[in-house]
C-alpha cells in the first residue's frame, strides 16, 4: 500500500475513524466509473449528458417535495423535506467544477441534508462555463440570496449557505461579496464540503494526494479553472476565496477527504479564516475522496452529513449575540 504521507486531524474532540471495508470497495467502483463521466478532456456537453444519467438513480427521503421556481431571475428548485420548519432556509450551491452539475444532480444529497437541518432548501441552477464565465456564477448566487431576503422575507439569522467543491468556493465568494456590499446581512453559518478555494492550484496536496484521488487530477482541474476564468487572474478573491479578506464571515465548517487533491484548499481556508477571527472548523476524513458525503451507501458519508447537518441546525437554533 502506498504511504499517504498525511497527518489526519479534525478540530475538537471528534476524530473520524479510518475508512471501513464498504468505503474502500466504493472507492474502487468510483475510480472505475469516474473517467467515463468527468474526464476534463471530454467535451463539456458530453460530460453534462453523462452526469444527467445520475439524476434518475437517486432516491429522495419519503415525503420530500421538489418545486421549480425562478429566484431573482435564476432558475432554481425548492427541496422541502417533510416537517421542515418554514422559518428556516438552506441555500445549497452545487458543485461540478463550474462546468457541470445541476439541482437535479445534487437533489438527493440536498434533501437528506435539509431533513437533518429541518429546513427548506433552495438550489440555484446557476450559469455554467465555458458559455458563461466568471463572474456569472457569483452574480447568479448573489441574486438568489438577495431574492431570499428581499422577496421571500427570509431572516438571515434563519438562513445557512452550503456548497460542495466549486459550490463551496461560490458559498465563500457569496459571503465575501455580501459583506463587502454592506446592503444585506450575512447568513447564520456556512458549510463547505471539499471547497475549491484556490483555482491557482498552489496547495501541496495537489501533488501529494494525486496518486490517491479518485475524482480529480491537477492537470484536469487546471483545465476546468481556465474554462471558468478565461483570462481572469486565478487568484481573484471572488474566484479563489482563499485569497479574499475573510474577516467578519459567519461561523463555518469545512469537511474534506484525506485523499482529495483539494485537501489543502480546506486546510488553508480554515487557517486563514481563523487568523481573521472567524469561528472556523475543519474535519479531515481518513481514506475519503472528493465530496464523499454525497454517497449515502458509505457509512462515513452518512456520518459526515449528520455532523454537517447538526452544525447548521445548531446555528439556526442559537440566537446571535
Kindly give, in sequence order, each residue whose CB lies less than 8 Å from that of residue 189, ignoring residues fewer than 6 positions away.
160, 161, 250, 251, 252, 253, 311, 312, 315, 316
Catalytic residue at 315?
Answer: no
Q: Which candidate in 94, 106, 236, 290 is catalytic?
A: 290
With both helix axes pointing from N to C terminus, report the angle between 166-181 and 136-150 in degrees, rounded to the nearest 10.
60
Catalytic residue at 260?
Answer: yes
Q: Which candidate in 140, 260, 264, 265 is catalytic?
A: 260
Region for residue 165 given its phi and psi (left: phi exceeds 0; alpha: psi -120 to 50; beta: otherwise): left
Backbone dihedral angles phi then psi of residue 283, each to the nearest 5 degrees = -125, 125
Place of cell 452518512: 302
The whole-angstrom separation of Cα 193 and Cα 285 is 12
Kindly give, in sequence order, each residue whose CB lies less than 8 Å from that of residue 166, ignoring residues fewer than 6 positions away.
95, 96, 97, 98, 101, 137, 196, 228
Kindly give, in sequence order, each residue whose CB lies less than 8 Å from that of residue 128, ignoring residues fewer than 6 positions away.
96, 98, 99, 100, 101, 137
The whole-angstrom separation of Cα 96 and Cα 164 is 8
Query: CA torsion 78→255→192→226, rounded to 10°?
Result: -110
Of 145, 243, 126, 225, the closest CA to residue 190 belongs to 145
The sign of the CA dihedral 147, 152, 156, 159 is negative
Work out the number of other CB atoms within 10 angstroms of the CB of residue 41.
9
The whole-angstrom separation of Cα 181 and Cα 201 is 28
Instruction: Classify strands 189-193 and 119-124 as parallel, antiparallel or unpaired.
Output: unpaired
Catalytic residue at 177?
Answer: no
Q: How far is CA 131 from each of CA 34, 37, 40, 126, rounded to the nearest angstrom? A: 24, 20, 16, 12
Catalytic residues: 165, 260, 290
Amino acid at each position: 500500500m502506498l504511504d499517504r504521507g498525511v497527518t489526519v486531524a479534525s478540530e475538537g474532540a471528534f476524530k473520524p475513524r479510518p475508512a471501513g471495508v464498504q468505503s474502500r470497495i466504493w472507492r474502487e467502483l468510483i475510480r472505475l466509473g469516474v473517467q467515463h463521466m468527468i474526464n476534463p478532456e471530454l467535451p463539456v456537453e458530453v460530460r453534462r449528458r453523462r452526469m444527467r444519467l445520475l439524476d434518475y438513480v437517486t432516491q429522495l427521503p419519503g415525503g420530500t417535495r421538489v418545486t421549480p421556481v425562478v429566484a431573482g431571475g435564476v432558475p432554481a428548485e425548492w427541496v422541502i423535506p417533510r416537517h421542515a420548519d418554514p422559518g428556516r432556509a438552506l441555500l445549497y450551491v452545487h458543485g461540478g467544477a463550474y462546468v457541470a452539475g445541476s439541482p437535479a444532480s445534487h437533489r438527493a444529497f440536498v434533501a437528506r441534508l435539509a431533513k437533518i437541518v429541518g429546513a427548506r432548501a433552495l438550489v440555484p441552477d446557476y450559469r455554467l462555463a465555458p458559455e458563461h464565465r466568471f463572474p456569472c456564477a457569483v452574480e447568479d448566487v448573489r441574486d438568489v440570496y438577495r431574492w431570499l431576503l428581499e422577496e421571500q422575507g427570509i431572516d438571515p439569522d434563519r438562513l445557512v449557505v452550503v456548497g460542495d467543491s466549486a459550490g463551496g468556493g461560490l458559498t465563500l465568494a457569496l459571503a465575501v461579496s455580501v459583506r463587502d456590499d454592506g446592503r444585506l446581512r450575512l447568513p447564520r453559518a456556512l458549510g463547505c464540503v471539499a471547497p475549491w478555494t484556490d483555482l491557482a492550484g498552489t496547495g501541496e496536496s495537489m501533488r501529494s494526494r494525486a496518486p490517491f484521488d479518485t475524482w480529480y487530477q491537477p492537470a484536469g482541474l487546471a483545465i476546468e479553472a481556465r474554462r471558468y476564468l478565461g483570462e481572469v487572474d486565478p487568484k481573484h478573491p471572488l474566484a479563489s476565496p482563499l485569497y479574499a479578506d475573510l474577516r467578519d464571515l459567519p461561523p463555518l465548517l469545512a469537511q474534506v477527504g484525506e485523499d482529495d487533491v483539494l485537501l489543502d484548499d480546506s486546510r488553508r481556508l480554515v487557517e486563514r479564516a481563523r487568523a481573521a477571527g472567524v469561528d472556523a472548523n475543519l474535519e479531515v476524513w481518513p481514506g475519503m475522496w472528493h465530496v464523499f458525503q454525497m454517497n449515502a451507501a458509505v457509512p462515513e458519508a452518512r456520518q459526515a452529513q449528520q455532523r454537517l447537518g447538526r452544525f447548521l441546525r445548531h446555528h439556526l437554533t442559537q440566537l446571535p449575540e
